[in-house]
Structure 1
């Protein structure tokens, strides 16, 4: 484990790697975001539930997890490096005053968190090729900045490569789920980590967003860990 990322389980050749950019709400002691502490438990700071799901999945043979180890408010790994949103100054209506950095401060965040995270993920995927990357996120049932509810239980996101998505969507629907195909947002608009490490390298990946109220407790996390392990294995076999 490093300051920027953690690896759970043992990555294996031809296995499944669960990648969660927003698995942690940790803020290093020397960084002051200037926000109310309770915001760190909300969706603007962390993808609720995914860290625990990844941990459970990584206990299974052939599955490992690669997780961000700081809050997305400290550094958002699922952004392109040149975008200012890598260090967000606001999120869902909340100002993040501690992120109003000068160029040197912004560059220091990139050097300390963003680049080590992506360098380590690239090295892992190069040295231990995977049958499938499962990009795991979660989404809030309703944004504070929107009146639109989000009824989907799970979303499947992708950019140009929809190989895994086309297989996974009917499998998820067969579990009785309301599945969003490019919902609650499009992977063509926000897919930075998978664009870089999967699409750019021709690696098959499955982008999953689970609604946070379904995985906010241990029972839901265990249920979804079982479901996603099963479906990821089915997808990996079908693609392979």
Structure 2
């Protein structure tokens, strides 16, 4: 057990599902200085990601590593020197408890153990493929005119091999899909840049629209649609 992550081992396939923002948990000794109701909001957690990741691990016989704390405690999908690592504002909400927080302590407790767990798991896979799972809100409160048009957005940095396989397959099952907006994996892809692109490991990064994976039926629906796509990408690239 670790407070930094949850490890799900569902089979021997060389598939690692990584979910940086799967949890809204805030340890009891950390006070973010926010209304607790915000912990159910997209600023605290990628809604639906933990459930879809668990379903996919079980369906495909792979392994999943789920981030163990809210992105408001520390953002696991940031470079170690990124300004957003310890957020003091998020979508118009002040995270006042982070202003005087000890970043080095949060890194030691959560950030480093999480990324070390990903590294250890990849090291024992002969031909790994990574699925990076996120979700997004259809619109930001701080920018309500900026609408995200997709049901699934695809995230990647320099390596777009899996993205180019996945997009037509997802379109083929009726999903509205494309490169994510208003930001892309070229801007916010830290975990995959570190573990996949830097090591030549093929990966697929997806972001599901939160209102479509907010309940059990939607989570099952997306897992069923995504499973064959993930296998197709893995088969072509490993």
Q: What interval of TM-score do these two structures reach, taking the shorter chain for normalisation? A: over 0.9
TM-score (norm 1): 0.95
Partner of 2:156: 158
Aligned match for 1:106, one of 103, 108, 111:
103
Aligned residues: 237
- Distance between the aligned counterparts of 1:219 and 1:63, measured in 2? 22
- Distance between the aligned counterparts of 2:225 and 2:8, measured in 1? 19
Q: Secondary structure at the match of 2:65?
A: strand
Deviates more, 1:54-63 or 1:189-198: 54-63
Q: Secondary structure at the match of 1:58?
A: helix
- Distance between the aligned counterparts of 1:129 and 1:101, measured in 2? 43
Partner of 1:217: 215
- Distance between the aligned counterparts of 2:152 and 2:161, measured in 1? 18
Deviates more, 1:193-202 or 1:127-136: 127-136
How far is 1:162 from its partner?
0.6
TM-score (norm 2): 0.96
Q: Which runs of 4+ in 1 moved over 2 A?
A: 9-12, 128-131
Residue by residue over 1:171-226, the C-alpha shift from the partner in whole angstroms, topping out at 9 and shown as x without a partner, is 01101111122434211111000000000000000010000011000000001111
Partner of 1:6: 6
Partner of 2:117: 120
Alignment root-mean-square deviation, CA: 1.3
**Structure 1: stretches of 5+ with no match in the other structure:** none
**Structure 2: stretches of 5+ with no match in the other structure:** none
The answer on whether the counterparts of 2:150 and 2:180 sit within 8 Å (CA) in structure 1 is: no
